[in-house]
Structure 1
């Protein structure tokens, strides 16, 4: 979440902020076209085993710098900072290489970029304390990206770095057992099992509700609403998405267990940025609808209680509700 917040601050400082709730931007999994990066690494949802971990290691692989250029070579075709277009990751072999290129572009961008929208960015008082950086100039932009690189993608030997964590998991991959879940599941796969199908739809709606909540946070400066949105983010992940997934992986499906599909859940409001609150309301109501349907299918008293607690959490999220003024 820290890296997402920093990347969102970077984008908000030079544009209008990220759009996360979008069918064209959400990854899809398991199909022949579902790949990432120049090396066409397959995007799959599957149990945490050898092939899956190898994909993560390839995606997070550290960037190997090219040979040092002469001063004359350095000055040829120097470009200014331009935001990577959709699909731009296809030109990079790893996320580490992408971030290293972005870092270089930031260094060369000083006279081309005007930084703005500090009041719409995550601040240290709201999120991650001293690790959070509000991007107001070239130096803070570079510092924000450096944290992402050092702690996450493309880092070697940093204890909490993504690459190092996946490497450690890969070395220990025989030490645990994984749920036998289907590869890259889709909600439609579960239609014959009414309970699992409704849970899958609730999970999809909650996933998109999380994305649109985070997206909304970069659109408002009202402190009361921002705190509600940040509280929502935590509640959706911990009190809604996680327990739905835990119930799903206890449900039999084919030769193993079911699992969340992480798909786009459409709304009548669509992806119009001026109708974000409407879309969020629809998503929240969809979670409640599908949880209610799932509760009606459950015969186990304990499982019914768990689902009712999740539904209670959905009823008590803080956004969107009319009493909050969402004016910026």
Structure 2
């Protein structure tokens, strides 16, 4: 009996991509291109929040401790919010696909992935974002400000040369920025209503359903779910989930339905703003059991948080050190995850053809597996490894990783395997029957870099 050669995974090139025009804040969205650029900018805003939230979550000490908290807890709060931001990212893209502009956004793109430190895009006043360990100061100065349900300021509240018009801050030189993130989304909603009323949105009713993120949501610490966008009604449903979970539909209440499109009594969750407020007041704290005594600590305690983590680390700063390899592995796995999401959007359900699993569902589950089985354990390894530097430890940089396009280096999964194998001599915990290397081996093959 002759052995049959194994079936090769299909080589999957990056889908077509046409960058949108740069966003120009406007009193009213008047054109289709303005709507596309606003939705692209909204997705990038969501992308900018994921790294800071996860970096703070990874800074919470977990190894060697049994954690508990009478509330949902700081760790689960941060993880839940970060996953909801990923939902918002996908909802914004679903709207783009729904309006016929699915080829105008690419997650796996060096211009889309933020670098830190940087300012949150299109917000006035400027809000600096950085990667740093969890602390009361970080929650107050950054996280609450991201999610805060601001009142639109009046011109009297602004410095000379600035004024407010229709929720937009006008600065010297003709530069406009939105006073709140929610104002950007509300402008998008108004633009959809305005353009749809004139028949100027080419709704992708037939092709949208198969090329949007549409599986059941996976966030055990939060609510919301994907919405398939095919018309104005479903587009507004998707956008209102983003607004409600972030700012909250009614800032005085602090809670929103877990499923805003099907609210039911008793099924509510705190808004992001209220969850951070509870963390600030130590309602959502951290409990640690060290084996001998029970100690209740807050988010400023060195018992609970690895306070020596470097702020906004960059891979290039660690060349020549053993930690460089797992840092590169994290960046590469993060970039692979974004590339996989791009492929999900490029693969209609009926046309998905994958080795060992013909269902698009496999891609979506692998996306989750990358977060849980690769990113989290590599991040945990990073923050638990002492360094001979000013900052005793380093967390994941969340940087775009430029994969090789040389066919001899293989596809993206092949290159992830190589990176992990290079790190193994110094970090053998990446191996093992259920280690990171094994998890990488189970990822979707065939993906080529953008």
TM-score calculated relative to the size of structure 1: 0.78
Cα distance in 1, alignment partners of residues 281 and 337 from structure 2 = 32
Tell me whether 307-316 or 232-241 shows the greater mean CA deviation.
307-316
Task: Give the aligned partner of residue 191 of structure 1.
Answer: 319
Tell me which of 274, 292, 302 is aligned to 1:164: 274
Task: Give the aligned partner of residue 259 of structure 1.
Answer: 395
Is 1:140 equivalent to 2:250 in the alignment? no
C-alpha displacement of 1:227: 1.3
Q: CA RMSD in A?
A: 3.0
Task: Give the aligned partner of residue 200 of structure 2.
Answer: 112
C-alpha displacement of 1:319: 4.1
Which string of whole-angstrom CA distances, capped at 9 and with x for unpartnered residues, describes residues 193-242 of structure 1? 21x11000000000100111111111111253521210111110000000
Task: Give the aligned partner of residue 368 of structure 2.
Answer: 234
Is 1:55 equivalent to 2:165 in the alignment? no
Aligned length: 286
Tell me whether 3-12 or 148-157 shows the greater mean CA deviation.
148-157
Cα distance in 1, alignment partners of residues 328 and 442 from structure 2 = 20
C-alpha displacement of 1:120: 0.9
Cα distance in 1, alignment partners of residues 420 and 230 from structure 2 = 43
Cα distance in 1, alignment partners of residues 182 and 276 from structure 2 = 14
Task: Give the aligned partner of residue 107 of structure 2.
Answer: 20
TM-score calculated relative to the size of structure 2: 0.58
Cα distance in 2, alignment partners of residues 285 and 197 from structure 1 = 19
C-alpha displacement of 1:4: 2.3
Tell me which of 212, 216, 219 is aligned to 1:127: 216
Task: Give the aligned partner of residue 285 of structure 1.
Answer: 414
Which string of whole-angstrom CA distances, capped at 9 and with x for unpartnered residues, describes residues 124-169 of structure 1? xx23399332111111111111111112345531234222222222
Contact 1:107 1:142 in 2 (8 A): no
Structure ID, larger Rg: 2
Tell me whether 18-27 or 129-138 shows the greater mean CA deviation.
129-138
- Cα gap change, 1:290 to 1:34, in 2 (>3 Å): farther
Which string of whole-angstrom CA distances, capped at 9 and with x for unpartnered residues, describes residues 165-201 of structure 1? 222222227713321200000112222421x110000
Task: Give the aligned partner of residue 310 of structure 1.
Answer: 436
Tell me whether 90-99 or 227-236 shows the greater mean CA deviation.
90-99
Task: Give the aligned partner of residue 175 of structure 1.
Answer: 298
- Unmatched runs of 5 consecutive residues or more in structure 2: 1-85, 155-165, 167-174, 219-223, 256-268, 286-296, 353-357
Which string of whole-angstrom CA distances, capped at 9 and with x for unpartnered residues, describes residues 13-38 of structure 1? 120253101111111102xx545322
Consecutive aligned runs of 4 or more in structure 1 exceeding 6 Å deviation: none
C-alpha displacement of 1:314: 0.4
Which of the two has greater strand per residue?
2
Contact 2:195 2:201 in 1 (8 A): yes
Q: Secondary structure at the match of 1:257?
A: coil
